[in-house]
Every structure is written in structure tokens, then in C-alpha cells.
């Protein structure tokens, strides 16, 4: 297992923002608005991504695992969300809130 780079994760996020990567909830019971403060897991294509939802706001990336099990974890480096523009981050948050 290897570590993913921030750039690899950001490119995944931008693929979601552009509509090139399908998004679904990893657990349909954990809808974004049902978790007041906690982790919410998503499938971005065949990647597993966990974000921390803080009072219905996208706070930080907790974990990203690609199909080969390479991963990025909170604390590995700066949050890849910080590499997005405000508009990109806002669009990503909209996608997460609408995921089923």
C-alpha cells in the first residue's frame, strides 16, 4: 500500500466537480444532512472518500482510498480541499449534499 499525493486527490475532486466521476453514498443511511457532526463516506467512482461534516458544512478530508488500496489520510499532509478554489469547494459540497 502506498500513499496518495494531494495532487492525485485534488484531481479526483475536480473530476467530481466537472461531472466526470459518479458520486454515491458509501452507506445510504448516512446522508450528509443526517450527520450533524461526523464522518460521511462516499464512493467517487471506485474510490472511497470520507469527509468530516461539521454542522452541515464540509470541514475536511478524513480519508481517501483508491481502487488499488493506496490511500491518503488526515494528517498525512495539508488537506487537499485547501488546494481547491472557493468556487470548486462550494460545488463539491453541493455534490456531496445531493448524493444518494
Q: How many independent structural domains does the chain possess?
A: 1
Cell of 58: 464540509
Residue 43 burial (10 A CB sphere; 0-12, 13-18, 19+): middle
DSSP code of 50? E
Contact between 91 and 17 under an 8 Å Cβ cutoff? The reply is yes
Confidence (pTM): 0.94
**Domain ranges, residue 30:** 6-76
pLDDT tens per residue across span 66-91 = 999 999 999 877 999 999 999 999 99
Asked whether residue 85 is domain-assigned, the answer is no
Asked whether residue 67 is domain-assigned, the answer is yes
Contact between 40 and 23 under an 8 Å Cβ cutoff? The reply is no
Residue 43's pLDDT band, with cuts at 50, 70 and 90, is very high
| 58-65/47-54 β-pairing | antiparallel
Contact between 50 and 40 under an 8 Å Cβ cutoff? The reply is yes
Amino acid at each position: 500500500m502506498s500513499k496518495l499525493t494531494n495532487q492525485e486527490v485534488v484531481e479526483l475532486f475536480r473530476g467530481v466537480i466537472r461531472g466526470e466521476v459518479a458520486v454515491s453514498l458509501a452507506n445510504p443511511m448516512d446522508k450528509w444532512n443526517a450527520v450533524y457532526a461526523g464522518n460521511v463516506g462516499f464512493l467517487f467512482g471506485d474510490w472511497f472518500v470520507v469527509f468530516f461534516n461539521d454542522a452541515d458544512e464540509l470541514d475536511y478530508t478524513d480519508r481517501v482510498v483508491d481502487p488499488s488500496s493506496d490511500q491518503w489520510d488526515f494528517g498525512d499532509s495539508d488537506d487537499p480541499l485547501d488546494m481547491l478554489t472557493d468556487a470548486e469547494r462550494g460545488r463539491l459540497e453541493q455534490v456531496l449534499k445531493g448524493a444518494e
